[in-house]
Amino acid sequence: MKITMIGTGYVGLVTGTCFAESGNDVTCLDVDTRKVQLLQSGGVPIYEPGLEELVKRNVASGRLKFSTSYADAIRDARCIFICVGTPQDDQGAADLRYVRSAAEGMAPFLRSGAVVICKSTVPVGTNRRVAEWIRATTQTKFHIASNPEFLKEGAAIDDFTKPDRVVVGVDDEEAADVLQEIYRPFLRTEKPFLVVGIESAEMIKYVANCMLATKISFINEMANICEKVGADINEVRKGIGHDARIGFAFLFPGVGYGGSCFPKDVRALAAVAAECGIEARILRTVDETNTEQKHVLFRKLNEYFQGDLRGRTIAVWGLSFKPRTDDIREAPSLTLIQELLEAGARIKVHDPVAQQNVRQILGDSIEYSVHHYDACDGADALAIVTEWNEFRNPDFDYIRVKMKSPVIFDGRNLYDREKMARRGFHYSGIGLSALPVSLPPADSEPLTKPA
Ligand SMILES: NC(=O)c1ccc[n+]([C@@H]2O[C@H](COP(=O)([O-])OP(=O)(O)OC[C@H]3O[C@@H](n4cnc5c(N)ncnc54)[C@H](O)[C@@H]3O)[C@@H](O)[C@H]2O)c1
């Protein structure tokens, strides 16, 4: 099958490469000339585990190509997936300008019987508008379909090749059959291929993301209450998670969700609701709770240093919005760093893959460390923002020696609070207040709170 992906970002590149891996002829099209040139010269513009190897293998086999030309990429394609960004506009709604330009760009070159599939996350009604935008240019007969994407950055290849389900929204059987053919190699474990109406498919993606975002904001709110009343959110989490009606997934407290999906999708669905005269109170509150939660580590640090962070050195571990990706869109680390800079702190950061992306925004206003331990050199406190695996079991004795004072504010609850107190750290998590330090370290200053 000849397939074209319009938009070669996190979704288009991963899914296009996986389609190539299963034997299709795939062209990934993008308007970003530098990105396409990089891919054509053997580079991969994003960090996603396993992707580079897969891209190289499929380019070498001739099944995966990159292009900036709509004419070349669309002319022979049986399936065209729209995978461009749908960022939020000034009002919080989805900005559809890239989807529209993809539709208008492909229209003159569509072959008869092509299936145009929207994989971008778009509000209800967009697929039908895509069809209208195309029909404004061409009389050619084509099919439309909605095929929302559920992959998670950091585990994108696995998610895509072993999906829990595939959802397609169609008007006609032929489009459904073509999509089933493409997805068959990924559904060999009998996971469902769900054929629904186009509007339902569009809605399913928003509802899924809003449900997950709601769980995160809910547990964050519970964690904040736990901390005030002296309860331990980890114990509470276990206590509720064993209830089969509740479960454990997505109920980890933290520093708020970021990334290119949850924040904008929650706001976009609220905007859709408002357009239909429904005030989406839950969605608004989820968004507000999350925005507030992104300040939690700064609040804790500021309180600990009694409102004066001037001249303090703060180490920050983790910059990407979640582990195993270099994506920093709406990352909580950026909120924390901005607040720390405004408060006059010196900041030393480490992230295994996202430092380059942060440097493009923050330049030399912060210091970048090659190793996470180096970020701790002379630090008054360490803030953990992203739960990269290498942060899970560090050498605490080494950290204590490197830091000016053994103080950790953990935005991901990576460590055991009793053990941290015994190791001589002032350690506070989310929904976990610090315990009194039981064994002051022999090789550092007595553990008193700074004046
Ligand atoms: N990133 C995720 O984890 C994820 C998961 C599921 C769904 N989605 C959705 O998928 C869509 C794409 O997300 P992404 O993270 O891959 O975005 P991205 O920003 O990484 O990639 C979008 C790409 O589209 C290109 N582009 C823009 N206009 C174009 C045009 N007219 N023609 C050709 N290329 C064009 C851009 O240059 C960019 O390379 C969004 O709607 C998003 O909500 C994303």
Q: For residue range 343-378, what is the model confidence (pLDDT) as tens digits?
A: 999 999 999 999 999 999 999 999 999 999 999 999
120 versus 434: which is more confidently predicted? 120
Q: Is any ligand 1 atom within 6 A of the Cβ of residue 171?
A: no
186 close to 168: Cβ distance less than 8 angstroms: no
Query: Is residue 240 within 8 Å of residue 246, measured between CB atoms?
Result: yes
Q: Does the pLDDT of residue 450 top 70, yes or no?
A: no
C-alpha span between 442 and 419 (Å, rounded): 17
Residue that is written with structure tokens 């901005």 in the block: 338
The verdict on the CB of residue 263 being under 6 Å from ligand 1 is: no
Q: Which pLDDT score is estimated for 370? A: 97
Question: What phi, psi does 246 have (nearest 5°)?
Answer: -105, -55
Confidence of residue 436 (pLDDT cuts 50, 70, 90): confident
Taking only Cα atoms into account, the Rg of the chain, rounded to an integer number of angstroms, comes to 24
Distance between Cα 59 and ligand 1 center (Å): 21
Q: pLDDT for 234-264, tens place per residue? A: 999 999 999 999 999 999 999 999 999 999 9
Residue 433: pLDDT band by 50, 70, 90 thresholds? confident
pLDDT score, position 448: 44
- List, in sequence order, every residue forming a beta bridge with 313; answer none if it has no partner: 346
| Nearby residues of 47 by Cβ (< 8 Å), 6 or more positions away | 325, 326, 353, 354
Q: Is the pLDDT of residue 73 over 70?
A: yes
CA dist., res. 200 & res. 124, Å (int): 8
Angle at 280 (CA atoms; ends 277, 285), nearest 5 degrees: 150
Ligand 1 lined by 86 (C-beta under 6 Å): yes
Residue nearest to atom 37 of ligand 1 (CA): 32
Q: Say how far apart CA 339 and CA 342 lie, in whole Å.
A: 5
How many other CB atoms are there within 10 angstroms of residue 390's CB atom? Answer: 13
Q: Is residue 440 predicted with pLDDT exceeding 60?
A: no
User: What is the spatial distance between Cα 422 and Cα 438, in angstroms, rounded to a whole number?
Assistant: 5
Rounded to an integer, the average pLDDT of 67-71 is 98
Residue 399's pLDDT is 97
Contacts of 112 by beta carbon, 8 Å cutoff, 6+ apart = 140, 141, 142
Ligand 1 atom at shortest distance from the alpha carbon of 35: 39
Query: What digits encode the pLDDT tens for the residues 399-417?
Result: 999 999 999 999 999 999 9
Regarding the beta carbon of 18 and ligand 1, being less than 6 Å apart is answered no
| pLDDT score of 451 | 38
**Token pair for residue 275?**
């357009």
Quote the CA–CA distance of 130 and 118 in Å, as a whole number.
Answer: 9
Place of tokens 């015994």: 422
Between the alpha carbon of residue 16 and those of residues 5, 45, 55, 343, the distances in Å are 6, 14, 9, 45
Ligand 1 pocket test target in 4, 8, 10 with most atoms within 8 Å of CB = 10
Taking residues 24-49, report their average pLDDT.
97
* 145 within 8 A of 127, measured Cβ to Cβ: yes
Separation CA 115–CA 56 (nearest Å): 27
Spatial separation of the C-alpha atoms in residues 383 and 379, rounded to whole Å: 10
Gap between the Cα atoms of 205 and 41, Å rounded: 34
Ligand 1 centroid – CA 314 distance (Å): 34
Alpha helices by DSSP H, listed for 256-382, are 262-275, 281-293, 296-304, 332-342, 355-362
The residue contributing the CA closest to ligand 1 atom 12 is 85
Averaged pLDDT, 224-233: 95
Whether residue 327 has its Cβ less than 6 Å from ligand 1: no
Q: Is the pLDDT of residue 133 over 60?
A: yes
Output the residue whose Cα is nearest ligand 1's atom 18.
9
Q: Give the span between the Cα atoms of 107 and 72, in whole angstroms.
A: 13
pLDDT tier at 117, thresholds 50, 70, 90: very high
In eight-state DSSP terms, residue 149 is: -
Provide mean pLDDT across the span 76-100: 97
**If you measure from the C-alpha of residue 84 to the centroid of ligand 1, how many angstroms do you get, rounded to a whole number?**
4
151 lines ligand 1 (CB under 6 A): yes
Q: Is the pLDDT of residue 445 over 70?
A: no
Distance between CA atoms of 383 and 312, rounded to whole angstroms? 13
Q: CA–CA distance from 270 to each of 91, 94, 120, 151, 264 (Å)?
A: 10, 10, 18, 23, 10
Residue 437 DSSP one-character state: P
pLDDT in tens, 387-400: 999 999 999 999 99
pLDDT in tens, 293-326: 999 999 999 999 999 999 999 999 999 999 999 9
For 370-381, write each residue's pLDDT tens digit: 999 999 999 999
Q: State how far the Cα of 213 lies from the Cα of 270, in Å rounded to an integer.
A: 13
Query: In sequence order, what are the residues at sequence separation of 6 or more whose Cβ sits closer than 8 angstroms to the Cβ of residue 442?
Result: none
Residue 195, φ and ψ in degrees, nearest 5: -100, 120
Is residue 438 predicted with pLDDT exceeding 90? no
CA distances from 445 to 26, 43, 311, 381 (A): 61, 49, 19, 14
Cβ–ligand 1 distance for 126 under 6 Å, the answer: no
Residue nearest to atom 11 of ligand 1 (CA): 120
CB distance 202 to ligand 1 below 6 Å: no
Ligand 1 centroid vs 5 CA: distance in angstroms? 10
Q: How far is the CA of 102 from the centre of ligand 1 (A)?
A: 11
Concerning whether 261 is annotated as a catalytic residue, the answer is yes
Enter the tokens of residue 391. Answer: 């942060």
388, 317 contact by CB (below 8 A): yes
Ramachandran angles phi, psi of 245, nearest 5°: -75, -20
- Please report which helix (H) or strand (E) contains residue 213, including its range: helix 198-229
CA pair distance 188, 162, nearest whole angstrom: 9
Active-site entry in 210, 226, 261, 376: 261
> Is the pLDDT score of 83 beyond 50?
yes
Which amino acid, one-letter code, is at 442? Answer: A
- Separation of alpha carbons 331 and 322, rounded Å: 8
Ligand 1 center to 121 CA (angstroms): 9
The H or E element spanning position 382 is strand 381-384
Give pLDDT tens digits for 149-206: 999 999 999 999 999 999 999 999 999 999 999 999 999 988 999 999 999 999 999 9
